[in-house]
Amino acid sequence: MTSHIKISPSILSADILNLGAEVQAVAAAGADWIHVDVMDGRYVPNITYGPHLVAALRRFTDLPLDVHLMISPAQPHIKAFAEAGANLITVHPDADTHIHRVLCEIKSYGIKAGIALNPGVPITAIETLVPFIDLILVMTVNPGFGGQAYIPEMTNKIRQVRHLINHSGREIELEVDGGINLETAPSAIAAGATALVAGAAIYGAADKDYQSKITALRGK
């Protein structure tokens, strides 16, 4: 398959006091989406930002905003993130009691819905949700922090999710998130990923040459 691999830089590792310039730089460097990691200090052991930042990003860039909610419950906040301008909202099945309702609510705002699988969550947790989603996000680290190491055993899970998507006959994006860098991206792509999140590998690079990192991550 030679389709375009989407790169979604995670602003978690960006210089937050220069966020505008940081977003502009990855946009100019060919990023496809902007990955916004929302954390509540409850579902994950870290706290980041909320709809207010998404709205500010929306005013600033035309790139699709890929909003990853690591909050529990997510449902009370879906409307705020959608109205702030998220193009895609991804939620975790273990973060809400009625996850199907959450996915339907996301879709009701005319935006894309994604479902994320932590390393400890089996694919069976989302099998019945396949007709309702536009993206599956496979976590290759335990969520909460940028700069963690890719868990190699998750490559096989990416492959299994690829089979699930292919058998569904639906157009579902397969995004991989956590520890993606020049060493690990090829395995994720070979296993069937169509979109890669990268925080430290892009924003953490000492030379700030985002274009070479983004191009190299795609493997071309």
Q: Which residues are designated catalytic?
A: 37, 177
Contacting ligand DX5 (CB under 6 A), which of 7, 13, 32, 89? 13
Tell me the three-class secondary structure of the chain, residue by residue. CCCCCEEEEEHHHCCHHHHHHHHHHHHHCCCCCEEEEEEECCCCCCECCCHHHHHHHHHHCCCCEEEEEECCCCHHHHHHHHHHCCCEEEECCCCCCCHHHHHHHHHHCCCEEEEEECCCCCHHHHHHHHHHCCEEEEECCCCCCCCCCCCCCHHHHHHHHHHHHHHHCCCCEEEEECCCCCCCHHHHHHCCCCEEEECHHHHCCCCCCHHHHHHHHHCC
Note whether 68 binds Zn ion by CB under 5 A.
yes
Instruction: Report which of 70, 125, 77 is spatially closest to residue 102, judged by C-alpha positions.
Output: 77
Note whether 68 binds ligand DX5 by CB under 6 A.
yes
| Between 44 and 172, CB nearer to Zn ion | 44
Whether the CB-CB separation of 87 and 63 falls below 8 Å is answered with no
200's contact among Zn ion, ligand DX5, none, with CB below 5 to 8 A by partner kind, is: ligand DX5
CA distances from 165 to 115, 132, 142, 171, 218 (A): 13, 12, 23, 8, 21
Contacting Zn ion (CB under 5 A), which of 8, 22, 36, 37? 37
| Between 102 and 117, CB nearer to ligand DX5 | 117
Note whether 12 binds ligand DX5 by CB under 6 A.
yes
Contacting ligand DX5 (CB under 6 A), which of 64, 85, 146, 192? 146
| Between 64 and 179, CB nearer to ligand DX5 | 179
- Taking CB atoms, the residue at the shortest distance from ligand DX5 is 199
Note whether 200 binds ligand DX5 by CB under 6 A.
yes
Instruction: Give the nearest distance from C-beta 115 to ligand DX5 in angstroms.
Output: 14
Note whether 177 binds ligand DX5 by CB under 6 A.
yes
198's contact among ligand DX5, Zn ion, none, with CB below 5 to 8 A by partner kind, is: ligand DX5
Note whether 194 binds ligand DX5 by CB under 6 A.
no
Contacting Zn ion (CB under 5 A), which of 7, 177, 192, 195? 177
Site residues, ligand DX5 (CB under 6 A): 10, 12-13, 35, 37, 68, 141, 143-148, 177-180, 197-201
